[in-house]
Structure 1
Amino acid sequence: MNKSKQMVIHDVLIIGSGPHALTLASLLCSNDWDPKSDVRHDSLFSTSTTKSQPSTETSSNKPNTSKMKRKKRVTDGQAMEVQHAKLTTSERTVCSPLSLRVVDTYGEWTALWESQFTALNIPHLRSHSLVHTDPLNKKALQEFALRCERSAELHSLPEQVYILDENAFFNDMRLGKKERKRLNISSGLKKSLSFSLPGTKLSVDFFKEQVERYKLDKVLLKGTVEHITPVKEDETEMKDENLKQEEENQSDVFKVSDAKRNGAGKTAKYFQVQLEDGTILRAYQVVMATGPTRAQMANIPSWVKSIGESYPEERLLHTVHLMHHLPNSKQKPRETNCVRDKDTFAPQVCEPGQRVMVIGGGLTSAHVISVALQQGASHVTWVMRKHLQLKQFDVGDVESLVGRYSHVEHGIKMDGQAYLRQFYNERSLHKRLAMIHQARKGGAVTPEAYIHLQPFIVNGQVDVKTYCQVSEASWCYRNQVWSLSLTTGEHWTGDKIWIATGCKLDVKQDPLLSEVMKEFPIQVIDGWPCITESLQWTEECPLYLMGQYAALQVGPHAVNLAGGQAASMRIAKDIIGRHQQKGGQAVELSGQKPKTEEYIQQMRGLFWL
């Protein structure tokens, strides 16, 4: 048999099975979403209670007009849904189904999320209930909670928070001195289901229900990706004429670059993805949705590398190891056919009576401290480079997505929608990166996590050291303790150190992307890849990026669930367009919105008021 006939090439391979991958896979497997229709950007924001599932259209060709009129009087999202109902099977684009595969180290959807929830005893998500993984129903998570009689797991925000620690404040440039010590949330918002934060167990069960509804278990493979190799197709002859014509048409200002001429004629025909066990998967399009959770991406401070003595590995750890603890623990009893209680999977952050240091000012550090106290730590020292920053959400100020008024910081509008419009209209990627840094402002702790730690801070069991870093560390083998020098001139002696400094973003240092970067070099700004608006590596290389790697196009929300929604819409639209084009179908979209407004619509999960 011919070798080429034996070779199986999938249309799409998604690497990773987290929430972003789940959103994209659901969209690609659904027949209810048509990127050519006028509602292509609003499906995420439909308020329908109908089931969203990968099945053929069964609605009547002539929907009830009285219902249509009633819906038109409600919201734009509901009105757009009525237009969606008008589309019959014959009016939609008929296309052969995509061949989709998803590969993940643990072979389970959202395994790392569940592991992180368990390891850090996280009670609820940081995102509100309208930001989730279902791409076709804005209120799917709320409806799931109500249908399962679990609305009690939709947590309300604290009505009022007072700050007792002099080194902590709400990071909002509009607040006066007194207000920066206090946050008030109106009772109306507090009681709103849309403003609630879904519990972690509710969220995990929602993910599992979505996997079952879209039949996504059948596309998931267990395996760890080691290499992604683009197999190039030489199209030099075909492109030579195009280049000559382009050169003739270009003015002196827009000359065809030498780089373009040198790279002309090369395009990625497909990708070879090699797994750890030697298995080779092939796909025409690959999506990287791994997230910054790999151990090799952990941001390790320089003083750690300068420690001269050998020390027990478990006495100094990065929090990235906690995320992988539960899936790894589950694999061992499976291999030995043992049954273990779920509580035995919980990791040991410290032993009773130990003195612990936690380094970092983000929410993960607060969760690690909370678990350490529960496990009997005698004292915890909390070290951070800046002040203790409180934010309800990852992005923007405390009220930037709640308030309806605009304010400006360093020439950047910070009122949510105006910010996104300014971001997407900005052509300079360097300026976009500056806007991202301004919006995120580094690690921050939620008011709820702060409230939980307040009593321990007051009684001295937790010592907060702000504007402080470790300058030197040594391990005393005789006493089995750490001895650290701090930049404040203080010294610390203790038993265990947790580094909660996050993961570094540098596409040039990512081993999975090394061969792609070699064959299709792109511009990189401080580790951030300059990809296309469709989140593609280049037009000639259909490798798509999700999460933080897509931030220069999606915005500062790229790593969050809202960013996963937006990225999924862009990628799915491009992949389906390519698939239709490959099948000889026209892919031009009529009545297409301007790009900026389209991208804002994709982020509307953030604007729930």
Structure 2
Amino acid sequence: MAEGDAATPHVHDVIIVGAGPCGLAVAARLCEGMPAANFTDEEHQRYHWIRKNKHQASVKNYRNGNETRRANTGFKQPDFLVLDATADRWMAKWDRLFKTFDISHLRSPMFFHIDPAERDGLLGYTYSHDRERELTEIRGCVGKEVSKYQRKKRIKSGRQPKNEPTVDERDRQDYFVPSTPLFASHCGCLVDRYSLRSNMIRNENVLDIAYDYVDDLSQSTKLFTITTGKATHYAKTVVLALGGNAPSLPATVPSEAAAAITHAMQIKEMPSAPVRAKIANKKSTNIVIVGGGLTSAQLADLAVRRGVGKVYLLMRGPLKVKPFDVGLEWVGKFRNFEQAAFWTAEDHEERWQKIMGARNGGSITPPYRKVLEKHIAKGKVELLLYTTIAEKQWDAASSVWSVSLSTTSRSSPVSAAASDSSSATDDDELPTRCRVLPPVDHIYLATGVACTLDGVPCLQTLRDTHPVQSCGGLPCITDDMAWRQDVPLYITGRLAALQLGPGGGNLIGARTGAERVSWAVQDFLREEEKEGGGAGGTGTFNFLTGRCSRFEALSCDCDE
């Protein structure tokens, strides 16, 4: 995208901050004129035919015999720029983390993707490229439904009714997880389809976002001024497509031990170089992994596969096992009910409580529970539930940690069965026992990252000039995903969870957020174009497809 000369800086229609899944979803949706959320399959076929043949026919005037080419009915794409702090390409941080953790398959089902054109875009891509072998079934979700007659018969016979499946057989094809290369290929397909490989992505860290009048560019309309470490950019609208906040280490870690304790989001190699050197020299190695989510299980498995002698996996609560990071009721056939209850909540506090209840902390998938059980049986992994680090000291001479643990006596620390955290009592009322681990070579913190307004420093100026309320650290944005009604800064991803729900940070949240944000951005740009006297680029297409009133065409001047 052209930036203009130094005298007249270029003003973009949209600047997207973040080139991850949420940013790519927004960019693709802004370039898609016929999104799946707006059209049926039959309408898609009809409109695609119109677009395909719009330049292949001429219109002949029956009075004078003159032929004229049809007017261009193409969809007008906005001029946008993408800023990302990691790299100048799409999905750079996503790809790095998946490669670092050696993740073979995603956790999300097939209908969790970012293709704006088709609801089954990922599934269709898989079969059209003969890559169905790269799918793995999510077991325990799909099953045959029990009829009302069968249910009554079981009750009359005295048999205990079985738990019915959350998803019926008709949707079985959706409940597979794609491989990491398959999903990456599908994202690359979207980038190629919408021509998103140009120089529209800049590797720049956004430092500040301001919204005000810019004398040299516009004295009647406010613009966004985005300041990065390399340049200053201007835009009519901004889309924040950020992930979580920057990870942080405990303040008690001495500087000389910083290389021996790592947050999962900052891992560059697994295990670390000193641990690999010990493994190569056939020395004993021990590492500690803290966290109760899927990342902790993935790191434990990866460490064992790469030669670490002993992994101590610490969880401060029970081991929770479920297919997705939200409950099946938010994914299966009843998800519309849960979403409706979420959107009709009386206030943001109620929505926040629903989000916390739906996510309910970290969890692992059933396949990874089996992996952990195998490692536990071999003595490679020790799973310590309801356990925290009471004290840790760094021995600079031997370059190892001395770690003391504190475990509450709720359950067996080596049990890999899922526990019900709802029956837990106050930690202060439970007996605890202490334990000192053998010398630990490295500590990994797979504790996740927070997502709050305070963790986004580039928004501080905007918060000072255009303050908004927050709940649970999240901004209380409008129903149009805007910062405020008078500020066209739109938010998607985890930071927009109060509008998107518990899945706001997932792929389904990325797609839903992109749809809602794109509608708002296009409406804003359309209104601005009308005020500026510009002509819309979609009027002819709407006339041909019957999307709007055809009487609007009568206002045009026609030659007799």
Q: In which range does the TM-score fall when normalised by the shorter chain?
A: 0.7 to 0.9
Out of 89, 114, 120, the position equivalent to 1:108 is 89
1:298 aligns with 2:247: yes
| Preserved contact between residue 268 and residue 542 of structure 1 (Cα < 8 Å) | no
| Preserved contact between residue 17 and residue 240 of structure 2 (Cα < 8 Å) | yes
1:525 aligns with 2:471: yes
- Cα distance in 1, alignment partners of residues 106 and 311 from structure 2: 25
1:508 aligns with 2:454: yes
* Aligned counterpart, 2:241: 289
Out of 255, 264, 276, the position equivalent to 1:319 is 264
Give the secondary-structure state (helix, strand or coil) at the position aligned to 1:546. strand
Amino acid at match of 1:271: F
* Aligned counterpart, 2:222: 269
Report the Cα offset of residue 365 of structure 1: 0.6
Matches within 5 A, 1:551-566: 551-566=497-512
Give the secondary-structure state (helix, strand or coil) at the position aligned to 2:27. helix
* Distance of aligned partners of 1:140 and 1:49 in 2 relative to their CA distance in 1, 3 Å threshold: farther
TM-score by length of 2: 0.75
Report the Cα offset of residue 379 of structure 1: 0.6
Residues 67-91 of structure 1: CA distance to partner in whole angstroms, max 9, x if unpaired?
xxxxxxxxxxxxxxxxxxxxxx999
Amino acid at match of 2:224: F
Report the Cα offset of residue 310 of structure 1: 4.1
Residues 516-553 of structure 1: CA distance to partner in whole angstroms, max 9, x if unpaired?
11111111123111111111111122111111110001
Out of 102, 112, 115, the position equivalent to 1:134 is 115
Out of 185, 190, 194, the position equivalent to 1:210 is 190
Report the Cα offset of residue 191 of structure 1: 9.4
Matches within 5 A, 1:537-576: 537-576=483-522
- Cα distance in 2, alignment partners of residues 267 and 125 from structure 1: 48
Report the Cα offset of residue 299 of structure 1: 5.0
Amino acid at match of 2:223: Y
- Cα distance in 1, alignment partners of residues 17 and 523 from structure 2: 21
- Cα distance in 2, alignment partners of residues 440 and 6 from structure 1: 48
Report the Cα offset of residue 52 of structure 1: 11
Amino acid at match of 2:207: H
Report the Cα offset of residue 438 of structure 1: 0.4
- Cα distance in 1, alignment partners of residues 378 and 165 from structure 2: 28
TM-score by length of 1: 0.69
Percentage of matched positions with identical amino acids: 25
Matches within 5 A, 1:34-433: 41-43=37-39, 57-58=51-52, 96-104=76-84, 105-158=86-139, 189=169, 192-218=172-198, 220-233=200-213, 269-276=222-229, 278-292=230-244, 297-300=246-249, 304-307=250-253, 309-322=254-267, 325=268, 348=272, 350-351=275-276, 352=279, 353-397=284-328, 401-402=331-332, 415-433=334-352
Residues 402-425 of structure 1: CA distance to partner in whole angstroms, max 9, x if unpaired?
4x6xxxxxxxxxx42211111101
Report the Cα offset of residue 219 of structure 1: 5.0
* Aligned counterpart, 1:238: none
Matches within 5 A, 1:462-541: 462-488=381-407, 489-493=434-438, 494-541=440-487
Instruction: Specify the structure having the higher radius of gyration (Cα).
Output: 2
- Cα distance in 1, alignment partners of residues 31 and 313 from structure 2: 46
* Distance of aligned partners of 1:224 and 1:504 in 2 relative to their CA distance in 1, 3 Å threshold: same
Report the Cα offset of residue 432 of structure 1: 0.5
Deviates more, 1:501-510 or 1:375-384: 501-510
* Distance of aligned partners of 1:48 and 1:194 in 2 relative to their CA distance in 1, 3 Å threshold: farther
* Aligned counterpart, 1:23: 25
- Cα distance in 2, alignment partners of residues 267 and 372 from structure 1: 59
Give the secondary-structure state (helix, strand or coil) at the position aligned to 2:212. strand
Report the Cα offset of residue 4 of structure 1: 9.3
- Give the RMSD, CA atoms, in angstroms: 3.7
Amino acid at match of 1:216: L
| Preserved contact between residue 159 and residue 190 of structure 1 (Cα < 8 Å) | no
Out of 352, 355, 367, the position equivalent to 1:436 is 355
Amino acid at match of 1:544: Y
- Cα distance in 2, alignment partners of residues 580 and 187 from structure 1: 41
Report the Cα offset of residue 213 of structure 1: 1.1
* Distance of aligned partners of 1:517 and 1:56 in 2 relative to their CA distance in 1, 3 Å threshold: farther
| Preserved contact between residue 12 and residue 100 of structure 1 (Cα < 8 Å) | yes
- Cα distance in 1, alignment partners of residues 140 and 231 from structure 2: 54
| Preserved contact between residue 225 and residue 275 of structure 1 (Cα < 8 Å) | yes
- Paired positions, count: 465
Report the Cα offset of residue 50 of structure 1: 6.9
Report the Cα offset of residue 49 of structure 1: 9.2
- Cα distance in 2, alignment partners of residues 547 and 283 from structure 1: 21
Residues 192-243 of structure 1: CA distance to partner in whole angstroms, max 9, x if unpaired?
3211111101001111111011100125323222323324149xxxxxxxxx
* Aligned counterpart, 1:259: none
| Preserved contact between residue 298 and residue 318 of structure 1 (Cα < 8 Å) | yes
Report the Cα offset of residue 185 of structure 1: 7.0
- Cα distance in 1, alignment partners of residues 167 and 352 from structure 2: 36
Question: Mind listing any 5+ residue stretches in structure 1 that lack a counterpart?
Answer: 34-39, 62-88, 161-178, 235-265, 326-344, 405-414, 593-609
Amino acid at match of 2:262: L
Give the secondary-structure state (helix, strand or coil) at the position aligned to 2:81. strand
Question: Mind listing any 5+ residue stretches in structure 2 that lack a counterpart?
Answer: 56-69, 142-159, 408-433, 549-560
Residues 373-395 of structure 1: CA distance to partner in whole angstroms, max 9, x if unpaired?
11111111111111011110111
- Cα distance in 2, alignment partners of residues 541 and 442 from structure 1: 33
- Cα distance in 2, alignment partners of residues 51 and 121 from structure 1: 43
- Cα distance in 2, alignment partners of residues 268 and 378 from structure 1: 63
- Cα distance in 2, alignment partners of residues 200 and 417 from structure 1: 28
| Preserved contact between residue 228 and residue 512 of structure 1 (Cα < 8 Å) | yes
| Preserved contact between residue 273 and residue 281 of structure 1 (Cα < 8 Å) | yes
Give the secondary-structure state (helix, strand or coil) at the position aligned to 2:292. coil
Deviates more, 1:534-543 or 1:434-443: 534-543
* Distance of aligned partners of 1:396 and 1:191 in 2 relative to their CA distance in 1, 3 Å threshold: closer
Report the Cα offset of residue 41 of structure 1: 3.3
Residues 339-385 of structure 1: CA distance to partner in whole angstroms, max 9, x if unpaired?
xxxxxx87748422420100000011111111111111111111111
* Distance of aligned partners of 1:95 and 1:315 in 2 relative to their CA distance in 1, 3 Å threshold: same
Give the secondary-structure state (helix, strand or coil) at the position aligned to 1:7. coil
Misfit runs of 4+, over 6 Å? 2-5, 47-53, 89-92, 182-188, 589-592
* Distance of aligned partners of 1:529 and 1:428 in 2 relative to their CA distance in 1, 3 Å threshold: same
Report the Cα offset of residue 311 of structure 1: 3.0
* Distance of aligned partners of 1:4 and 1:123 in 2 relative to their CA distance in 1, 3 Å threshold: closer
Residues 547-589 of structure 1: CA distance to partner in whole angstroms, max 9, x if unpaired?
11100011111000111111111110011111111121799x9
| Preserved contact between residue 209 and residue 462 of structure 2 (Cα < 8 Å) | yes
Out of 14, 17, 20, the position equivalent to 2:16 is 14
Give the secondary-structure state (helix, strand or coil) at the position aligned to 1:390. coil
* Distance of aligned partners of 1:426 and 1:199 in 2 relative to their CA distance in 1, 3 Å threshold: same
